[in-house]
Amino acid sequence: MVDYFGLMKKCMFNFSPENAHHIAEFFFKQGANLTPFILTPLAEHFLIHDKRLEQQLFGKTFLNPLGLGAGFDKNATMIKMLTALGFGHIEYGTITPEPQSGNAQPRLFRFVEQESIQNAMGFNNEGMYKVGKRLETLYPFATPLGANIGKNKITTAENALKDYEKLIQRFKDLSDYLVINISSPNTPGLRDLQNEQFIKDLFVMAKELTCKPVLLKIAPDLAMDDALHVSSTALENGAAGIVATNTTIDYSLLPNAKDFGGISGKVLCEKSFAMFEALAKEFYGKTTLISVGGIDSADEAYRRLKAGASLIQVYSAFIFKGPSLNRAINLGILERMDRDGFTHINEVIGSDRR
């Protein structure tokens, strides 16, 4: 049988990572718009719909626990095609109030042998007005959508709260949940906002603005005690969950890493899991936990679910392994459930905590 994805990947990897992404975005967007009839057969193959994987979260039905993490579909242009390729939810963004071009190129680096990526993109996106207009024609959508939001680079720390206020107002009716991104390493000073006072002010404000779930995404580089404290502060002030983790600035994980930007992919796996495990020990059963970082197989996905993740997300692995990853992970979860005697995914989630 011809390995079409292997051939396509070989071709795409001849381009720079950023150009390859633009090419993929063009075909994903145009494929859905110009040939919508292909979406159904794609979904029939890639989208695993089994009642044992369904969950009710945030007032929505998640057909399976595997979603696409923020950073791939920055401007919400690929949602239809990505859904057809098997994702159970999609997190678009990161979106900022004003459009911004991001950091200087080159800013995206592919490490094929390690199946990892290093990026210093800097929240490049079309801004909340244009992305919002696009979503107004799409939302509500069959697949749950999350809005990942962050402040503009030129916005000072003193004015950061205002950026998040604008973003929550804009996307609260264009998403099923929102994720506060103050953990990217690519916007100067952003991670400094991972402090008690800002997080308290942020979530108190968010609770006043919307009834939609608002979650906090944290960095894997925080000290464990700090991560627990930051998460606790968010939850005490209205956060609906924690997303763990963002990319890492631990450059020792990757041979020949650049000395800037954040690393994602396979080399992040254990660091991300260690942070998630610590958070799950403290907060499982008290809030919704989403695990992301280095997940690239059914075994790893199953480990995160058993540790307490209600949802899991991939990003880098989708680039290296393609849409067959979605099908393989969800079928693999079902196989492991059968092996372990679980009849529904709710029994799997947090089973290591019980």
Q: Does residue 20 belong to any structural domain of this protein? A: yes
Task: Tell me phi and psi for residue 145, to 5 degrees.
Answer: -120, 135
Q: Is 184 a catalytic residue?
A: yes
- CA-nearest of 139, 131, 140, 143 to 95 is 131
R_g of the chain, CA atoms, integer Å: 19
Q: Give the chain's domain count.
A: 1
Buried b (16+ CB within 10 A) or exposed e, 132-158: bebbeeebebebbbbbbbbbbbebeee
Q: Does residue 302 belong to any structural domain of this protein? A: yes
Pairing of strands 89-95, 145-149: parallel
The predicted pLDDT at position 189 comes to 84
Q: Does residue 336 belong to any structural domain of this protein? A: yes
Per-residue model confidence as pLDDT tens digits over 22-35:
999 999 998 888 88
Q: Which residues of the chain have pLDDT under 70?
A: 1-5
The predicted pLDDT at position 7 comes to 80
**What's the token pair of residue 341?**
């005697």
Q: Does residue 21 belong to any structural domain of this protein? A: yes
**What's the token pair of residue 219?**
């960095």
**Using an 8 Å Cβ cutoff, are 146 and 91 in contact?**
yes
CA–CA gap between residue 160 and residue 165 (Å, rounded): 9
Q: Does residue 199 belong to any structural domain of this protein? A: yes
For position 119, which CATH number holds?
Answer: 3.20.20.70
Q: Does residue 354 belong to any structural domain of this protein? A: no
The predicted pLDDT at position 34 comes to 80
The predicted pLDDT at position 4 comes to 59
CA–CA gap between residue 4 and residue 203 (Å, rounded): 46
Q: Does residue 272 belong to any structural domain of this protein? A: yes
| Proportion of the chain in helix, strand, coil states, percent, rounded to 5 | 45, 15, 40
The predicted pLDDT at position 6 comes to 76
CA–CA gap between residue 17 and residue 318 (Å, rounded): 14
Distances 20 to 25, 94, 122, 227, 319 between C-alpha atoms, Å? 9, 19, 18, 35, 10
CA–CA gap between residue 291 and residue 271 (Å, rounded): 12
Owning domain of residue 101: 4-348
Q: Which one of the listed residues 116, 183, 184, 316 is annotated catalytic?
A: 184
Q: Does residue 353 belong to any structural domain of this protein? A: no
